Amino acid sequence: MKVAVLGANGQLGSDVCAAFRRNGDEVVALTHADLELTSASTVEAALSASMPEFIVNTAAMHHVEKCEADPVGALQANAIGAKSVAEWAKRAGSTVSYVSTDYVFDGKKGAPYLETDVAAPLNAYGISKLAGEHFTSAIATKYFVLRVSAIYGQQPCRAKGGLNFVELMLKLSQERDELRVVDDEFITPTPTVQIAAQLVALSRSSNYGLYHGTAEGSCSWYEFASEIFRVTGARVRLEKARPGEFPAKVPRPKYSVLENRALKTARLNVFTDWRDGLKGYLNARTEAAVAAS
């Protein structure tokens, strides 16, 4: 199968390209240099030049503070960009998958969100991604919307300046004696390799629709940091931040844990517990360091 990956040099996109290639697919890796989401003609040209049967759109404007400062830009990239991709897919008879986010929810449920729960985003980023979901599902005949959460991968996140949470914690643990991390925001840390494997599994199915796609279980950022230091044996004193110690500049959900109900019902879920995902990431990180030395 011919697969186009948008955002191919991103944190998630690079693992998505690798996963499809491993499965024997022909991958057309499209970066920002190849197409501009806010320009329908460049989306159309890049896709028409390669004629993919399956499209994975990981590209996005997703720096939350930048989206809040430029909501029109966020809507143009994340919503109108998704519309252009969906329109091309419908015309070509191709399948489109749109990578979305846990930030479509307000976090007030206090229990894992299902695909059937009503989305109520708190910020411009979440609103723009929800609009992208709607354009995708309203226009494309064959589509997957996959909501992911707190992702981390071996390639740096281009929008967030390079270091994912694991790398940031490990770096800070070498620089400081004590670290303070928030314990009142709950997420499910999810490695990008598992999301990539999930997208491959979805591409082999015709169970089109909306899916939650995160690792199993949940934790606070403090608990995530604690597990990183436990597994790596990093020597640093970890403390819970006081309420309000790190005020968010933009409203964010305090609880954005997702349940992969639709994937499980369709018997397509590939995700494991978030602690296993972390171990896999740390092992791959060690192997990469050994190979590079």
Ligand X SMILES: NC(=O)c1ccc[n+]([C@@H]2O[C@H](COP(=O)([O-])OP(=O)(O)OC[C@H]3O[C@@H](n4cnc5c(N)ncnc54)[C@H](OP(=O)(O)O)[C@@H]3O)[C@@H](O)[C@H]2O)c1
Active-site residue set: 125
What's the min distance (Å) between Cβ of 26 and ligand X? 20
Asked if residues 148 and 16 have their Cβ atoms less than 8 Å apart, the reply is no
58 touches ligand X (CB under 6 A)? yes
28 touches ligand X (CB under 6 A)? no
What's the min distance (Å) between Cβ of 78 and ligand X? 7
Any idea what DSSP says for residue 143?
E
Distance between CA atoms of residues 220 and 255, nearest Å: 9
Distance between CA atoms of residues 208 and 4, nearest Å: 18
83 touches ligand X (CB under 6 A)? no
7 touches ligand X (CB under 6 A)? yes
Among 59, 64, 124, 196, binds ligand X (CB under 6 A): 59
Beta bridge partners of 56: 5, 97
Three-state SS letters, 219-276: EEHHHHHHHHHHHHCCCCEEEECCCCCCCCCCCCCCECCECCHHHHHCCCCCCCEHHH
Q: What is the DSSP string of 148-200?
A: E-SEE-SSPBTTTTB--HHHHHHHHHHH-SEEEE-SS-EE--EEHHHHHHHHH
Report the residue number, 59 or 145, with the smaller CB distance to ligand X.
59
What's the min distance (Å) between Cβ of 2 and ligand X? 20
What's the min distance (Å) between Cβ of 233 and ligand X? 26
Count of residues that interact with ligand X, criterion CB under 6 A: 28
Pairing status of strand 237-240 against strand 151-152: unpaired
Among 3, 56, 61, 257, binds ligand X (CB under 6 A): 61
Beta bridge partners of 57: 6, 98
Among 95, 149, 214, 269, binds ligand X (CB under 6 A): 149
158 touches ligand X (CB under 6 A)? yes
Which span sits near ligand X by CB under 6 A: 27-35, 48-56, 170-178, 245-253? 27-35
Asked if residues 82 and 60 have their Cβ atoms less than 8 Å apart, the reply is no
Distance between CA atoms of residues 142 and 263, nearest Å: 16
Quick note: the x/- pattern for ligand X over 97-116, rule CB under 6 A, is: --x-x---------------
Among 77, 130, 140, 201, binds ligand X (CB under 6 A): 77
Which residue do the tokens 């925001």 mark? 185
Among 3, 4, 13, 47, binds ligand X (CB under 6 A): 13
Quick note: the x/- pattern for ligand X over 159-198, rule CB under 6 A, is: x---------------------------------------
62 touches ligand X (CB under 6 A)? yes
Q: Which amino acid is at 102?
A: D
Report the residue number, 187 or 262, with the smaller CB distance to ligand X.
187
CA proximity to 78, closest of 149, 131, 141: 131
154 touches ligand X (CB under 6 A)? no
Binding-site ranges for ligand X (CB under 6 A): 7, 9-13, 31-32, 35-38, 58-62, 77, 99, 101, 129, 148-151, 157-159
